[in-house]
Chains A and B, each alone.
Chain A
Amino acid sequence: MSAITSPAAGTRDRRDPFRATPLTKIGLGVTLVLSIFPIYWMIIIASRTNSDAVDVPPPLLPGGNLGENVRRVLATEDAHFLAGLLNSLVVTSAVTVSVVVISTFAGFAFARLRFRGRNLLLGSILLTMMVPLQQMGVVPLYQLMVELGWVGSLKAVILPYLLNGFGVFMMTQYTEQAVPEELVEAARVDGASTLRVWWNVILPAVRPGMAVLALQTFMLNWNEFMWPLIVLTPENPTVQVSISFLTAAHSTDYVLIFTGTALSVLPLVVVFLAFGRQIVGGLMEGAVKA
């Protein structure tokens, strides 16, 4: 969208602050190539053989070995790749659904209900978002899991990740913006209970926000590495842990490692291709409000 509409002479055009210079276009082109190349290259190597992988100059076109490589990854015993993939799906889905529900509830309360201590509680959430719980909490959380007998169980990976201050904060912002105060009041006048207001008024209005939160939670959780590595057993890993075992045990089998890595990224690529537009839109919306 051009701010200057007149298709006028060159001088005027040069003053258009939103004109893209050739340099800009070249820079963007280079950035795009750099962004995509490592992933492209990962897939190329995943479709080739080990001798191709160390070729000089490096191969840039796909080979015909993808199927065979995938079979090898799935057959590698010490990686438990299929289990890892399934575990990641279970963990990520459970966390995503729960975080979205918890955040939508809390966001509704913080944005559209009045209660004592509201500002203080919301402020405390913001404050705790600064604490690096990943590192600070790792020792006691492990101890807690030992006490509960949950070491090696998926529960140990799911439950701590349900604590998501960002989600509550985001849904508070979103509810404030998407649900007019009058709408809630009107429902109240009609005698609707809080739960009914949530179901009939809030939920339909904040659905896009929930979708964005779900996507972000899914992507972040799929990539979690440190905590699953610590608390799960090698026989029952998540997919990121699987890859790290693949790497450790077969450090010279590049093709195997790359194929496993490509497989681990696949679900995210699918999500990205399906919902890319929403991800961009959601990120931009969230950023403006931050």
Chain B
Amino acid sequence: MSVNTQTRRAGPAPPEPRPRAPRLTWSRFDVKAAPYLLISPYFLLFAVFGLFPLVFTLWVSLRDYGLAGGEATFTGLDNYAALLSDADFWNAVVNTVGIFALATVPQLLLALLLANALNKRLRGRLLLRLGVLVPLVTSVVAVAIVFTQLYGRDYGMVNWLLDVLGLDRHIDWQSARWSSWTAIATMVDWRWTGYNAIIYLAAMQTIPRQLYEAAAIDGASGRRQFWSITLPMIRPTVLFTVFVSTIGGLTLFAEPVMFAGNRMDGGTTGQFQTIAMYIVEQGFRNFDYGYAAAAAWLLFVLILLGVGLNYTLARRIGGSR
């Protein structure tokens, strides 16, 4: 009987007892090659649908490249220079960052509160958890349609409620910057707050209960326990959600598109056009591929900046406590 020890040790292990029978040569080949065969589908897909688009986007972004002719003349960094002095692009950047900030900060804070509440002893726990996840089941398009209706100027339920409360009614939510940003931010928050809360809840449940018991005996209040125990203990998870929502927020697309009635311009003066909408508008409405590709790379840079900044910020906030 041959004992195959190859799976045991990693890498440059001491020489194995040399097998001689041909069957063992096959098994040796199997051990060597099989891992690569198993991971190859992913990496093949990555080469075609991941790496190629990235490199090609970079190539296109350095050219004057239209859809119709297919002529591509090298223009160097012209597209980038034009973008950086393009007021419409900066408008899209400001909108994207503004909506992102308006949506993400309340979302993650609410999710923390919600998770903390769900972490208490409650009857019907599973039902509550399912309940807060219901919004995830809907599609972005559906959410945007329903909320656009809720935010309608004349017959919208939000304006009606404001009226009932004796406040200013007939707000034209789409028309102004602040109101359209608010409306879009609530769509994003409605869909994702419960999801983040469940993620936080999972992390909270790994915190040893003795910590809380000890703190309680020492007389720490619920709020104090939350800041001194819960938050520091789940910091990695908070960082993870900050990371994910930064990428999601900066690539925001479907909600504002639907809010604009399925158009890419983001309202009459582009008051809620995001960068993703701008890219699609340039590439697939104006057919200026090179310009759209350059915008896509600038978006990537913005995401890297955003992830880096938020990461440092979130780290510091969690750490100072």
Chain B contact residues, majority secondary structure: helix
With A115-B36, A135-B276, A163-B49 as known contacts, state yes or no: A288 contacts B120, CB within 8 Å.
no
Q: Are B136 and A28 in contact (CB under 8 A)?
A: no
Q: Which residue of A lies closest to B248 (CB)?
A: A132
Residues of chain A within 8 A of B36, CB atoms compared: 109, 115
Tell me if A's interface is mostly helix, strand, loop or mixed.
helix
Interface stretch, picked from A61-69, A70-78, A203-211, A250-258, is A250-258
User: With A138-B280, A163-B42, A223-B141 in contact, do A193 and B27 touch (Cβ < 8 Å)?
Assistant: yes
* A34 pairs with B49, CB closer than 8 A: no
Asked if B54 contacts A136 (CB within 8 A), the reply is yes
Which residues of the partner chain B approach A24 to less than 8 Å between Cβ atoms?
A: 117, 120
Instruction: With A136-B57, A163-B45 as known contacts, state yes or no: A261 contacts B142, CB within 8 Å.
Output: yes
Instruction: Please judge, given known A-B contacts A3-B213, A163-B45, A254-B149, whether A132 and B251 are in contact too, CB under 8 Å.
Output: yes
- Give the complex CA separation of A4 and B258 in angstroms: 51
- Report A-chain residues with C-beta under 8 Å of the C-beta of B135: 35, 38-39
What is the bound-complex CA distance between A133 and B57, given in angstroms? 11
Contact with B along A1-35 (1 / 0, CB 8 A): 11110000000000111111100110110011011
Within 8 A of B (CB), among A104-136: 105-106, 108-110, 113-116, 118, 121, 125, 128, 130-136
Quick check: A35 and B202 within 8 Å, CB to CB?
no
A116 to B12, CA, bound (A): 9
Query: How extensive is the interface on chain B, given as a class?
Result: 35 or more
Q: Find out whether the CB atom of A268 lies under 8 angstroms from the CB atom of B60.
A: no
Partner of A18, one of B121, B141, B215: B121
Residues of chain B with a CB closer than 8 A to A110's CB: 39
Nearest-neighbor residue (CB-CB) of A25 within chain B: B122
Residues A3 and B11 in contact, CB atoms below 8 Å apart? no
B27 and A191 within 8 A (CB): yes
Kindly report which residue of chain B lies nearest to residue A55, judged by CB atoms: B155
Asked if B212 and A244 make an inter-chain contact with CB atoms under 8 angstroms apart, the answer reads no
From the candidates B157, B279, B303, name the one contacting A58 in the complex (CB within 8 A).
B157
Add 8 more A-B contacts to A41-B146, A114-B11 (CB < 8 A): A18-B209, A28-B114, A39-B137, A56-B160, A106-B42, A132-B250, A135-B275, A264-B141
Q: Which residues of A contact B (CB under 8 A)?
A: 1-4, 15-21, 24-25, 27-28, 31-32, 34-36, 38-39, 41-42, 45, 53-58, 102-103, 105-106, 108-110, 113-116, 118, 121, 125, 128, 130-144, 159-160, 162-163, 165, 168, 184-185, 188-189, 191, 193-195, 198, 219, 222-223, 225-226, 230, 240, 243-245, 247-248, 251, 254, 257-258, 261-262, 264-265, 268-269, 271-272, 276-277, 279-280, 283-285, 287-288, 290
